[in-house]
Structures are given as structure tokens and as C-alpha cells.
Amino acid sequence: MQRQLANMKQSLFDQLEELQDDANPNFVEEVVTLYYRDSARLVQNIDKALEKNPVDFVKLDSYMHQFKGSSSSIGAKKVKIECTQFREYCRVGNGEGCKKTFQQVKREYATLRKKLEAYFQFARQVGPVEKACRRK
Amino acid sequence: MTVEKIRGENENSDNFPVGLRVLAVDDDPLCLKLLETLLKKCQYHVTITSQARMALKMLRENKDRFDLVISDVHMPDMDGFKLLELVGLEMDLPVIMLSANSDPKNVMKGVTHGACDYLVKPVRLEELRNIWQHVLRKKKPDSKIQNKSTDQVKANLGSGDGHGSPMTGNTDQNGKINRKRKDEDDESEDNGNESEDPGAQKKPRVVWSIELHRKFVGAVNQLGIEKAVPKRILDLMNVEGLTRENKYRLYLKRISQQANMVAALGVKDSHFMRIGSFDGLGDFRTLAGQGRHPNVALSPYTSGMLGRLNSPANVNLLNITPSPLIQPSYAQNSSNSITPLGKMQNPNLFQGIPSSLELDQLQQNKGPTGIVNFNAFDDSRIFTSNFTDPGTTVGSSSNLLNGTPNNPLSDGGFGNQPCNNMASFSSESFNAGINGTIESSKMQPNSLLSSEPFNNSLSDPYLRNNTIDIISSTTMALPIGDSREMQCQEGLVGDVRNMNQQRQNNYEHSSKSGFGSLNPRIPSNGVVGSMNQKMDMFVNGRLGGGGSTLMQHNENQNLLTESRARSNDSLFFEHQKMQGGFVPQSCDSLDDMVNAMIKREQDESIPSCDFGFDDYSFGQGTI
């Protein structure tokens, strides 16, 4: 189980967990919740921006930069990779490419959320025992 | 945005690096929280904020409160690099940049702007464990390091791999001209104008580069207005070869110019003006080297003026040495200034260093002057000495603000100011600058000058069209004592509104138009309406908006150029000068000025102004 969990997240996420301790018992959850909120908003903004015509690449890039930043902070490597790709398209002004890539971004993002959800459910079940075991 | 106030420790050395006081700035809440937790794990004291403005405010409140600043590059309200520069200039604290972007170009930019380090998100704990080294390195040249604690720290941290922070330059600083806060790389780059060779003591001429100026401003700020005497400033700046004379004179010139402007309001002494203006011009000339404005020497002048004016020290100096200094410089400057401006010819403009009284006024105004710089957009513009001190009688300070190219408009603002004298002054100058024909230089001393001059400006078709002018004028109007430069602008705008009632239609018209235009520009400028009250409000952020609008506007308008010629009014000149030099620059110069202004103002008035002003400059960058 530990391994399963470990596989679900990347090393950064591990770090997040490291930060969670008695002083910050729900740190990971808080962080992830923050991420959800923030990223949901960004995804919305990006969607809207992509629908506009003509596409404002500067803004898009700015949104994506933020999105990428927070995703990487939380350890979402795959999402981050897609974001980088997206920004490349933005840079060259390829609207179609952006849209396609963004679909992928959203997909990865959805996967991430699912995994996180599962993780939390799991973690809650296991609870403190897991935490104790987790300490290496 | 959460701001945690952490008890600041003054003594860190024994427990170093534990208890290191860090200020973290990042607009991304997730990242901020992460940073906070990470830093706490390192046993640092953390204060977080998601607003760069807030961060600046906190830093300015108490310079000793933090040891280190970590800032994100990409922020909505202020560019990370700008913040970096400001912090470096004003507080000389080590700043670490943070970004999701690992592009070497950005990293380079960070380093050249003076960052101690550049971290790429996501940040790892190990990386943060090393940041204390930067604090140490920064302090070292100042001979504050205790080897003992260093060893201790090392033992504690046990982290062998530090970042290859580019602090190597620090030690070399002693030999060279100290760039107070820049990295070594930066130093060498920026040393273009100054002699880098420590041995070559004799510098043919110390070019008052922006760097120097910045340092100067920083030093002044650090010393505080009261104690900012040239000697100490010099020491602080630690610039080789820079004699106090050099700066002082320039400073005085500046001040005198400002004073002149102010004085111009009440007294149109031709000789005064010249001095003030000329000095500025002279200074600008050197600055011209900076390559600010193609337009003219004036540009540098104005910028120089602006910068100078801004620092409170300047103000003080001004009082001290009114005319004697100015006069000599005046002669030379006048020629310089005149040529570029063409207008400067009016000696009246600068009323030489006004009597101490005026000086006082100027001092007060000092805040606003910084703002004037903004107006500087138009090179040719006359930089109305933005002296507008917040509270000072120098209503003219508002003028200073008006310095912004748009200045002509600022007149409107003046009316409100108690200083009225000043106010009118600025407005006049502005108008003059813009319209060139500033007939209004009526600087009537106590009358709501602003209204009058403003009218003048308003009358000018040009003025009216320039919404910005109005705005600028409004800012100038800062009549509200707090007229920080930034505020001034804002105030001007607001004042314009208020003034509208008082003023004549044309005024109103222009002001309104100004506002209208401004308003959209200024995002948060709702303040404009409220300008009635203290300008402070405006400054905060409004200026930024307004500023940008002004700037943009100015550029489009090129009012300045026109006004230049006219400078009939002494005021005019003064203001205009600023514009030329000042504006052309990118926000950088403005920023400097603003910073300077802000700093000054800070001491005096609302800190918010500073921010507002900053916004302005930043806005520019981002625009």
C-alpha cells in the first residue's frame, strides 16, 4: 500500500508529505485543496481565453505559467510536461496546437485529481498508522 | 493574502541561520503556502504576502525586520524584477528570485537585476537550507560577519552544496565603486560610466549615473531625511571618487530647481529659476549619457532632477544651499537646458533656489517630485518640478508631479493644495510644457493656482485633449499634503475633479476628460474621484494606473515637446525638463525616480504612495 501510494505521487509530493507533521497535520490536504481551487480557476480562464478570437497568446501564456507553477509545486509532473508543450505552442502563436494540447492538459489534470482523491480517501482510512509507518 | 507578522529578531548571529527572517512574496497561494512551510522547516522566521506592494510596505516600515527576501518573478501587481531592484536599492537586502521558468535568459535577468540567487519551482527543501549563505555573503563586506557563527552555521546546516550564488563579486566591491546592491556582474556592467579602477582615483568626472543616483537615494533613505548629509551619504554609497561636492551640488541644483519651481509660483525670479533649472540641466547632461532620451540633454536633466528632487536629502540640501551653488551651475546649465528645451530660457522658471522658505516648501514637496518623472515621458516636456511635497506649502510640489509629461494638466490639482503657490506653480509649468505656451504660469501663490494654471492649460486645446495632462495635473494637485509623487498624480486627477467645480469649465473639461481617460486606465483608480481627500489614496495604486496612462498618453501626445519651447513660465521649464529626460526612459528611470520619491515620501507620508508610484512604473514595464 505504501508503495502504491508512493507510486501515485512523485517525489515532490513526498516532500509535501514530509512537511506534514504534528504542527501541520493536514498540510497535504490543505495544499492540495488550494491547488484544486487555484487550478480550477486557471483552467477556466484558459478555456475562456482559448475560445476568444483572436486568441490572446500573451494572456494564455501568463495563465499557463501560473498553472504550470502550481502544478509543479505540487509535484504533478505529467501535467507540467503538457503545460510546457502548451506554452511552446503559445510562443509560436499556434492556436490550434494550443487547443489540442490543452485538451491533453485537462486530461492529465483530471487524472491527477482522481489520483489525489483516491489518495486522500486512502490516507484517511489508514490514518495515523500510516503516518507513523511512513516516517523513514 | 495572509500576512503573518513574525516577531523580528535583531540578533541572529548567535543562532544563525536559525531564526533567519525571511519575507516571501508570491501571487500563487499554493506556492506561497508551500514556501512558508518549507521555510519553517528550516527553522526560519517566515512572513508571507502575495502582494508585492505589501511586501515593499513591510520592508520599508522597518528595514531591519528581515534578513532575506524571496520573491516570485511573475506577479500581477508588480514585476518580480522591479521588486528585486527596489529592494536592492532601498534596503540592500539579499533577494532570491523564484520562478517556474528555468529559462537561462530569465535567470540572467534576475542576476543582473541584483538577485542573489534564482530558484526554479518547485523548490526543494535542500535548496532553501542554503539561502542563509546569501545573507552572510551580503553582510560580509560590511564587516559584520563573525567567523565563529559562520562555522556554527555550517555545522548546523551541514549542507555542502550551496547554490553557486554569484556573490563572489561582493568582496570585490570594496575595491570598485560600490554598487550597493548589485551583483558583481551587474556592477561591471553598470560601471560603464564610472571609473572602475579603484586605483584610478582621479576620475575625470563622476557621471551621475542612474546607479549612483539610486545608491544615493538608497543612502538617503537609509539615513533618513534628517541625517542625510552629503558626507554620510557618500560614505554610505561608498563610491569611489564621488565627492560629496559632486552630488551635493547636483543635488542642490536639483533642489534649487525645484525650489525655483516653487518659487516661481510666488516669485518669478529669473535668476532663481535659472539656477535651479540649469543645475538640473547640467546634471542631466551627465545623465544624458545614460542614454535616456534622445531628445535632449534636458531629458537627462529632468530625470536627474527628478531623481534628485526625490530624495529627501535633496530637499534638505536645498535649504541649505540655495543659490550659491546654483548660480554657477546655472550658467552652464542654462545653456544646456536651453538648448534642449529651447524653453529653458526663461530664467524665471527656475527661480534659483528660493529662499529657505521656499526650500522648505520644496522639501515638503519632495515626495511628489519623483512622480514628475513620469511625466517625463516627453522628452521635451518640461519637467515640472514635481516637488510637490505632501504637505508643504509648496503647492508646487504638485507641480513636480506634474513633471510628468502631461504636466500641464496638473495645474488643476493645485488648486486644492494649501500651498497653492506651489500648486499653481506646477500647473503652470506643466501647462507650459505641454502647451508650450504656458501662459498661465501664473503661479499665483495662494490662489488655487491649480485652478488657474490649469485653466491655462485647459484652454489649450492641447491640454484638453490630453487627458493625461489632466491627470498629471491632478497628480500634481496633490495639494494634499501627502502629495507623494505618486499621489500627486493621482491627486491631480482627483483634484481635477474637485477642482472642476471650482474651476472654470475648461478646467473641468479637461480634468474630466483627463479623468475619464485616466479612469479607464487606472484600474483601481476609483480613487480619482475621491481625490478630494488626500491624495494618498491615489497614490497607492492609482498612480500606477494613472501613471501609465499618463505616460502612454504623453508619448502619444508629445506635449512636452511643444511645451518646451514655451517655457515662458519658469515653472514650465522646470517641469519640462523633467519630462524630457525622465520619460523617455523606460520605467526604469521612472522607477528610480519614483523610488526616490517614494522613499522620501515614505518618510513623510503615506507609504501607500510609494506603492502607487511603483505601480506606475511597473505598470509601464508591463504595459
How far apart CA B175 and CA A9 sit, in angstroms, is 51
How far apart CA B574 and CA B50 sit, in angstroms, is 39
* ipTM (interface predicted TM): 0.77
For residue A31, the chain B residues in CB contact (below 8 A) are: 30, 33-34
For residue B313, how far is the Cα from the chain centroid? 13
Is A69–B38 a contact, with Cβ atoms under 8 angstroms apart?
no
Check: CB of residue B358 under 8 Å from CB of residue B262.
Answer: yes
Q: What angle do CA B370, B372, B375 make, to 5 degrees?
A: 135
Amino acid B246: pLDDT:
55
Amino acid B238: pLDDT:
55
Check: CB of residue B390 under 8 Å from CB of residue B482.
Answer: yes
Q: Is the pLDDT of residue B472 over 50?
A: no
Q: Nearest CA of chain A to the CA of B33: how many Å? A: 7
Residue of B nearest to A11 (CA): B124
Please, which pLDDT band fits residue B433 given cuts at 50, 70 and 90?
A: very low
How far apart CA B252 and CA B264 sit, in angstroms, is 17
Amino acid B262: pLDDT:
52
- Count of CB pairs separated by less than 8 Å, A with B: 53
When CB atoms are compared, the residue of B30, B38, B40 closest to A34 is B30
Write down the residue that cell numbers 536627474 correspond to.
B304
Please, which pLDDT band fits residue B85 given cuts at 50, 70 and 90?
A: confident
Q: How many CA atoms lie within 13 A of A61 on its CB side?
A: 13
CATH class, range A2-13+25-135? mainly alpha
* Pairwise pLDDT comparison (B119 vs B358), residue with the higher score: B119
Boundaries of every domain in chain A: 2-13+25-135
For residue A66, the chain B residues in CB contact (below 8 A) are: 27-28, 74
Percent of chain B topping pLDDT 90: 0
Residue of A nearest to B103 (CA): A84
Amino acid B43: pLDDT:
85
Q: What amino acid occupies position A27?
A: F
Q: Is the pLDDT of residue B532 over 80?
A: no
How far apart CA B603 and CA B536 sit, in angstroms, is 13
Residue of B nearest to A75 (CA): B122
| Residue A53 backbone dihedrals phi, psi, to 5 degrees | -140, 115
* Pairwise pLDDT comparison (B426 vs A21), residue with the higher score: A21
Per residue in B186-205, pLDDT tens?
444 444 444 344 444 454 45
Is A69–B33 a contact, with Cβ atoms under 8 angstroms apart?
no
Per residue in B555-593, pLDDT tens?
344 433 343 434 344 443 444 444 433 333 344 444 554
Best CA proximity match to B39, nearest among B31, B28, B50, B51: B31
Please, which pLDDT band fits residue B236 given cuts at 50, 70 and 90?
A: low
Is A69–B41 a contact, with Cβ atoms under 8 angstroms apart?
no
Q: What angle do CA B236, B229, B203 make, to 5 degrees?
A: 60
Amino acid B398: pLDDT:
36
Check: CB of residue B73 under 8 Å from CB of residue B101.
Answer: yes
Amino acid B211: pLDDT:
66
Check: CB of residue B426 under 8 Å from CB of residue B401.
Answer: yes
Q: Which residues pair with B69 in a beta bridge?
A: B23, B95
| Residue B435 backbone dihedrals phi, psi, to 5 degrees | -80, -20
Is B31–A69 a contact, with Cβ atoms under 8 angstroms apart?
yes
The residue of B25, B26, B31 whose CB has the most chain A CBs within 10 angstroms, and thus the best one to mutate to test that interface, is B31
For residue B99, the chain A residues in CB contact (below 8 A) are: 69
Q: Is the pLDDT of residue B86 over 70?
A: yes
For residue A30, the chain B residues in CB contact (below 8 A) are: 33
| Residue B22 backbone dihedrals phi, psi, to 5 degrees | -115, 140
The residue of B1, B4, B26, B30 whose CB has the most chain A CBs within 10 angstroms, and thus the best one to mutate to test that interface, is B30
Is B33–A24 a contact, with Cβ atoms under 8 angstroms apart?
no
Cis peptide leading into residue A128 (ω within 30°) = no
Cis peptide leading into residue B122 (ω within 30°) = yes
Amino acid B114: pLDDT:
86
Per-residue model confidence as pLDDT tens for chain A (136 residues): 555 545 555 445 566 666 666 566 677 778 888 888 888 888 888 888 888 878 888 888 888 888 888 888 777 778 888 888 888 888 888 888 888 888 888 888 888 888 888 877 877 776 555 455 544 4
Per residue in B116-165, pLDDT tens?
889 888 788 888 888 888 777 877 665 544 444 444 444 444 444 444 33
